[in-house]
Structure 1
């Protein structure tokens, strides 16, 4: 709003004094009536700038895609000219009879002012509003590209962690033990391992997934880890069905579980407890803190990745609340963007 008013003031002043200089050879006009025309020019340009915004949106790259590019460009230019003609009638032709009733304006002058109005409107549309729209589009494309990069990185990190030799070695050890001790549980463990990989691969390149899909991954991963750690790990969730259609970045919740297990020790007597709840538009992942004796160096890459992805998706921040007794992460639950 302020930007458009300032631009209209500067443009109206420049165009008015240029026209005065061309006609009279001076920049100063003593007649008050002439400066009333300056106000009309300011009103004309401000209204023009205001209408240029919806026109630029109407003919944006994602609109009217069925039209050929040349026809779309021609229709866009015609729309700008028609609006300028309507404003020329509303701000110059009619008001001048009230503001300057004694002025005699020739048809040649009227045609000239109409042409100048159309040229001004086209100039400011293509060099101001369209440029502004182009920059906004570039910023949006950059944001989408960065978000896609972060999503790919998250998927790569999740897959890399799951195929890490240490993870596979431990999983195969658990599987080998279960084959002899409890074949049914061994089959179950193998199915859970398969479910984890399938859920990771199913996320694709989407920047957001429904919470119910992310929770399917979380449940598969939690079941796998509970089978591996036994009574030393407990994962609980309390997510009402009303929140299951909300959106989250893929693998974000699974990465939080993975971090909790990676950085905390656990025994059957002192189990690691991870609780997932949803309320007030937030998904809360909380675990009790039990630092491992063989502390694993934290790079914070997982949390940073989640925070960066949310930065590109929303203004709502990821809340990280570490205390001596617990570690809490609150993820905003998002809604699908408007079409």
Structure 2
């Protein structure tokens, strides 16, 4: 106590704090790199790194011990023994900090795993619920359409109901598929066109000119329906000024073109349909669709895939 000084206290505190801080960050970096190793390898590597950190810190520890010694007892210790004690202290401290950091990392990883498991359980529950809903609604709708068809003897009503059933059946069969053949998509479009013609009659003309040899080529499912629906939504269609939509092949593209006659009161368009098609082509084929707009026509070209 006769040799006590505040400088000694400050020195010991700073020396110990920096000593521990270096150990903490070195072990934090090491454990983050080796946490996913096999258990047998991890033990050997961990022991190696504990000793390595102790050796790295040793020069700092040795230097600080010469800058200021707290008591005469330490000064009287032989140099070799003093070096051994400092190295042993480094190993013990390094091992302690490794244990703390490893435990912290394991607890954190366990919490993250539990959160992921809970998220997966929630997602699985939602998928199961949606699956149950989809099992009920198609069955109910098809029964309803069949019942509606039997309630009338008029041929055009029966045909309308049958085409509506075909549309719904196609949507259910292909909504989970990424791509379909032109044959599958055109069969759907024929039913869709029938519904449109029933509503607009001669106000809409849809001309499909695609060779049978090309109908094995593939496009994203329901993309043609989106383009035709987009044309009907944004353009006027009357018997004296019909909307003409053409589907044909041009090189490596399937072209969907319509005469441009915008509606007088056009609601705000979000462009969701075209954005949907563009995004699917980027993800599925890494290709871009071509959109051309002139004073008289609006054209979208869809790349064809084999």
TM-score, reference length from structure 1: 0.45
Higher Cα Rg, which structure:
2
